[in-house]
Amino acid sequence: MNIVAAFFRLTRYPNLIYIALTQFLLQYCVIAPVLHNEGVEPSLTVMQFMLLCLSTVLIAAAGYIINDYFDINIDLVNKPDKMVVEKIISRRWAMAWHTILNMSGVSLGFLVAMQVGQFYLGFTQVICSLLLWFYSTSFKRQVLIGNIVISVLTALAVVVVGFYEKQIYHSFEAIMSKEGRTLIKIIGVYALFAFIISMLREVVKDLEDMIGDSKDGCRTIPIVWGVLPAKKLCYTLLWALQLLVLAIEIKIFTLGWYFAILFLFASVQVPAFYIYLNLKKAHLPPHYHKVSSLVKIVMLTGILSMVFFKIYL
């Protein structure tokens, strides 16, 4: 594997594409159509949005690098064939790239915040960067805390675009306007979806990585609570996901969005039930890896549902 391919593997480029796609769809399939419906223009120009999206992607990439940096002992057990740090890229270079990407991402966040006249918004990226650092160094080795932190950060990747929209940050009157309330509801639902699906995947990954985690002294949910309670938590999250989608379907049924209901049923609810069946039978790392991959697919289809706002609004 050459150094460029190793770098892309280290930064988990498929996940970075997920983040960029989520923010792009939110901006141009949800925020822009909602505002245009009310004769209002989005706060961010195309260039400002691209810079904000790049800022998020760079900080996420830095987070993946520092995670692998501190996970060498765990990865030696769980996935020795996929290791990049130490095997291909030295620890020193990994730390250097983490610093460069982090500083670039935070700087871009402040640049966009200053351009929209709200400097304090740049601290959102600082908080994300710090949480990723402490997750890698400490939180991920503690029961439940690490899972919640990553799930919150996943939800933040969704809502950060909304933070930079003046209908949300400008004033209480802007928030209470029709378009302001609509945006908050829609972004809130997608943020909740992102939190639930991310939490589910994090617990499944803990089940998959139990052997390496236990040898490194990690106190993850399946290690501390046991495998069965960890699975029961996953079942609860799956039911919460199903109820959330059902509530959405009831709402959009009143709007006549029938094809969107069919899409959600076929691409989110049915796969979620399939995940439940596979998780019940899972007892080996390859089984949990399959479940984790299925969760990622549901995450993608949930994100793609934003397209319907562009179609129907």
pTM for this entry: 0.93
pLDDT at residue 297 in the model: 95
| HEC letters along the chain | CCHHHHHHHHCCHHHHHHHHHHHHHHHHHHHHHHHHHCCCCCCCCHHHHHHHHHHHHHHHHHHHHHHHHHCHHHHHHHCHHHCCECCCECHHHHHHHHHHHHHHHHHHHHHHHHHCCCHHHHHHHHHHHHHHHHHHHCHHHCCCHHHHHHHHHHHHHHHHHHHCCHHHHCCHHHHHCHHHHHHHHHHHHHHHHHHHHHHHHHHHHHHHCHHHHHHCCCCCHHHHCCHHHHHHHHHHHHHHHHHHHHHHHHHHHCCCCHHHHHHHHHHHHHHHHHHHHHHHHCCCHHHHHHHHHHHHHHHHHHHHCCHHHHHHC
Average pLDDT, the chain: 92
Q: Is the pLDDT of residue 213 over 80?
A: yes
Q: Is the pLDDT of residue 140 over 80?
A: yes
Q: Is the pLDDT of residue 141 over 80?
A: yes
Q: Per-residue confidence at 192, pLDDT binned at 50, 70, 90? A: very high
Q: Is the pLDDT of residue 41 over 80?
A: yes
Structural domain boundaries enclosing 122: 3-312
The structural domain count of the chain equals 1
